[in-house]
Chain A
Amino acid sequence: MNVNPLSDCEKTFILEAASQKIRLDGRKKDEYRLLEIEFGLDWGNCLVSLGCTRVFAQVSCEIYQPNNSRPNEGVLQISAELAGDNKLNNLTKINQVLERFYKDSKCVDLEALCIIAEEKVWKIKVDLSVLNMDGNTLGCCSIATLAALMHFRYPDVVSTGEKVVVYSSSERDPIPLSLHHHPVITSFAIFEKYDFIILDPSLLEDKVCDNKLSICFNNHSEMCGVDIEGCASLSQNLLMNCSNQAASMAIKLVDKIKLAIQIDIKNRSSKSFKGLEPAVSEDNGLKLCLSDKLNYVGPSNQENVMEEIDEKMLVDQDVIKVTEGTAFTASHNNLPQISNINQADKNDDLIVIDPESSESSSSDDSVEIINHYKLDDIRPVIGKYVVSDDENSDTGTIILD
């Protein structure tokens, strides 16, 4: 396990900053980072980002045999894992805390999930994958859990004595989960020595602080659970202060989630709804990497950078075609084909070396491939990008990979 070690420099620096009541990112001590909630195409599928912390949640359901002790109740299961690495112990901690807070507070009406007592109930599974950890992972996970549960719909079921019929979403509208209340976790980091309590700690503050206090409140200002990590002794006064803050914060957070769901349901009716795709492709810096940095490393006159780079790519492709036997052996097999095309139409702007496309493009001059290979266009880089011609759709399909 290779986690970036914490250096002494950073530790003393943050402690010193805490003694002067300054936070590294310039926030006030009770300020949350920017919270964004986006929903995917499926029900119960959401991406929550709190600053740089990102958590992806997916709710799923299946028909399941109930526990013997509770024959007429559904099952709720919450599991969080770090994308790529599931051995970090603080995620098991997050798992425990989330399960405890959400199950024990009985926010989900489990009895409504019963289909046939002692035989069949719904099992609701919340899978959280932490995409990026930048502090307050627990708070972000809880927001994602709540948003996904509120957004989720399960299929309608009718049981007629011995037969159980599950309707698909096209036959009957799926039903939202019934939630009694909406609990959400607010995290504090406490620097005991300097009497400095901060909300929504960042990763460094999270690592350095003496105590971590997570309080779960619902939107009716009722406490659903408290979790204290660390060894400092906290006074009654301080706990009361924190819980008051957490209560008001929870109301704000739940309102934000409700608003996001309302907007999503409104968007869903319109045809242009694209789910998570725009959020994922635009926000995660792919665009920045491709356009801004290339802007810099490209030629210094900024006006026609894109065109110039395009031109150079073109020229370099020409070079590859001319110099055979260089390291570009992967395209060696295609070289005869390409040279054929060159003879056929030398003025054509051909930039793609692709065995499938080369034949079709030589026959079909109208496919302009170069227009689709701009450096600021993200999609060709991420995955397959299909350029299809309307009339000759069977031959004019070109896949840039």
Chain B
Amino acid sequence: MTLVDFNNVVLPGNDITHIILKGDNCKRSEKTIGPGLKSVDNKIIVCNGGILRCKDDKYFWIEYLKKKYIPAKDDVVVGIVAAKTSEMYKVDIGASELSTLPYLAFTNATKKNRPDIKVGNVIAAKIKMATPFMESEISCVEHANSIILGQLENGFLINVSLNYALRLRKSNSKLLYQLGQMVPYEIVIGANGKIWINSASIRTTIAIGNAILNAEHLKEEDIPQLVKNFNKSLNI
């Protein structure tokens, strides 16, 4: 029983209340549980088999393999505008339903000053509301010290698996850092597996996209070799 711990495999049904709270019931409000964990009857129960992770002794989640994106609040996603109605855009973010983006949900937007976005444009947005029974709502309003949201122009989109996207989003991703030392580029990684890349020329954008796609199943040690190959392909 003691072996159910952080960075270990846990299975659905495991009761992990004792590890997360560590017997401290009064501090319950300070803890946050994420995907794969559920609070039932004052207990915290695992509902997806995977690896238990924690951050700062405050945030807890399970890393598990999934294929379909399920919207979660405060995720940054990349979506494609699929339709336009009188009050909002419908955006395809790869979830089971299109999500809604009101015209007013842009920074500095007013009723007269509408954003100029057409069907087919690519946007980066934050999920504002996600419920299992309704379409999710996204917004492009930028708060202080948030990342830049809104329309993404030029560049190219690639699709990767959800787990890989989450891995890349970690700030200590070696690959993105090392690629950045070779060439300057812009990147937006959506939690829904869509990645937008832009750089000075077409050739570099393609090379960066391929490097990111190829690195999915590589181990950490092989990444420098990949970056070396990437640099060679740039010079041709």
Contacts and interface: CB of A to CB of B under 8 A. Distances in A.
A237 interface: no
A336 interface: no
A302 B219 contact: yes
B66 to A, nearest CB: 11
Nearest to A6: B120
Interface residues of B, number: 43
B202 A9 contact: no
Contact of A326 (B45, B82, B154): B45
Interface in A308-357: 309, 312-313, 315-316, 318-320, 322-323, 326-328
A140 B6 CA distance: 48
A7 B65 contact: no
Interface stretch (A53-61, A84-92, A260-268, A289-297): A289-297
Contacts of A288: 217
Interface string B149-187: 000111111000001000100000000000000000000
Interface in A264-301: 288-289, 292-293, 295-299
A16 interface: yes
A326 B202 contact: no
A10 interface: yes
Contacts, number: 100
B231 interface: no
Interface in B101-117: none
B205 A7 contact: no
Interface in B11-41: 11-15, 40
Nearest to A25: B210
Nearest to A16: B202
A6 B82 CA distance: 9
A320 B3 CA distance: 12
Classify the secondary structure of A's interface with B. Answer: helix
Contacts of B118: 8
A313 B9 contact: yes
Nearest to A314: B3
B216 to A, nearest CB: 9
A9 B152 contact: yes
Contacts of A26: 206, 210
Interface string A34-48: 000000000000000
Contacts of A175: none
A302 B222 CA distance: 13
B229 interface: no
A327 B45 contact: yes
Contacts of A322: 1
Nearest to B94: A4
B230 to A, nearest CB: 12
Nearest to A323: B15
Given A7-B122, A9-B157, A22 B9 contact: no
A17 interface: yes
Contact of A297 (B12, B13, B63, B157): B63
Contact of A328 (B12, B50, B51, B153): B12
B156 A5 contact: no
A327 B13 contact: yes
B14 A326 contact: yes
B8 interface: yes
Interface of A: 4-13, 16-17, 20, 22, 24, 26, 288-289, 292-293, 295-299, 302, 309, 312-313, 315-316, 318-320, 322-323, 326-328
Interface of B: 1, 3-4, 7-15, 40, 45-47, 50-51, 63, 65, 80, 82, 92, 118, 120-122, 152-157, 163, 167, 196, 202-203, 205-206, 210, 217, 219
9 contacts: A4-B92, A5-B80, A7-B120, A9-B122, A13-B155, A13-B202, A26-B206, A323-B1, A326-B45
Q: Which 9 A-B pairs have the closest CB atoms?
A: A328-B13, A327-B13, A8-B120, A326-B13, A7-B80, A13-B156, A292-B217, A312-B9, A315-B3
